[in-house]
Amino acid sequence: MDPPTDVLALFGPTAAGKSALAHAAARAVDAEIVVADPFQRYRGLEIAADAPSAHERAEVPYHFVGDLALTDASSAGEFAVAAHARIDDIRARGRAVVVTGGTGLYLRAALGELGFPPTVEPETRAWAEALVAADRADAAAELARRDPGAAARVDVGNPRRLARALELAASPAGDDRPTGRLWDESMRIPTWLVVVSRPREVLDRLIHVRVLRELDDGLVAELERALDTPGVSREALQIIGAREVSEVRAAGISTDELAQLLAARTRRLARRQLAWIRRWPHAHVLEVGEREAPDALPELLESWRRSALPIR
């Protein structure tokens, strides 16, 4: 099949099967996959990030998988620049592009023009993080003083988001941060955006199965190595599991308790991903139900073929 648009974008909650479906689609149309996931970029987090296997990468060219060391910092702004260049290169070579990922911000970064600000100065970031760690209420009050709009939008109960908002408010770079364009549906190039959907009870079951599989595959040992890596970046340790494995070390919780913690946090992630989906009301929803995700490939390709008016 010749794809009617240059880019197919697949989004959906974790464990819904979007990665498997993206791989099947890329094989069907001889496309290359751009992964919009901040954690699959890190070498050493393959299990925790559910990165594509060596066999899958031999079948289909993948981009932004394992391109960072655990000590490297990363940001959505930096990824946007790199992803735009890579997508343009793939298209220039006459290949179709499949973009997939469960991080809404990174998917938007790959597909849109969000105008990310320059990197915040390290001193400002350290100041904001220290203020949040010392007294979250004082940090929230300081954010309200510097940027009342951001204070009204941000979840001040989330220390990472509060610190990020505060560092932007205190930095000259913050004057150029993206605003409403983050939530619109504009695309750099013609793109067919598809949401891979499953019933909530099916998704919860798949999340549980994934957690158990990752634990069997050596998740704890992988994350312990990451935690013990000298100079490991803050960004790498935001992955689900790092905090929980730290708690295992500190409190000696059981494997069963760890599995429950990981599944609960993953379900919360899925809810946040569903919130991103609601921001894109014109995306095509592909209901997978209880099927294996690649079984939905004919429907996906047919919807792509019929996308005479792709989202732009």
Q: Is the pLDDT at 311 greater than 70, yes or no?
A: no
- Compare 108 and 121 and report the one with higher pLDDT: 108
- Topology given in CATH for the domain delimited by 7-116+182-199+272-305: Rossmann fold (3.40.50)
Phi, psi (5° rounding) for residue 220? Answer: -65, -45
In whole angstroms, how far apart are CA 202 and each of 213, 278, 287?
A: 17, 19, 12
253 sits in the region (left: phi over 0; alpha: psi -120 to 50; else beta) called: beta
Q: How confident is the model at residue 180 (pLDDT cuts 50, 70, 90)?
A: very low
Q: Where are the domains of the chain?
A: 7-116+182-199+272-305, 122-177
pTM of the model: 0.81
Residue-wise pLDDT tens digits, 80-98 = 999 999 999 999 999 999 9
Amino acid 60: pLDDT: 97
- E strands, the chain, are 7-11, 32-35, 62-63, 97-100, 191-197, 284-287
- E strands, 73-187, are 97-100
Residue-wise pLDDT tens digits, 247-262 = 888 877 777 889 999 9
Amino acid 157: pLDDT: 82
Q: Is the pLDDT at 238 greater than 60, yes or no?
A: yes
**Which residues, at least 6 apart from 84, have a Cβ–Cβ distance to it below 8 Å?**
110, 188
Residue-wise pLDDT tens digits, 4-33 = 567 999 999 999 999 999 999 999 999 999
Q: Is the pLDDT at 191 greater than 60, yes or no?
A: yes
Of 19, 2, 233, give the one whose Cα is nearest residue 10.
19
Q: What angle do CA 142, 148, 151 make, to 5 degrees?
A: 70
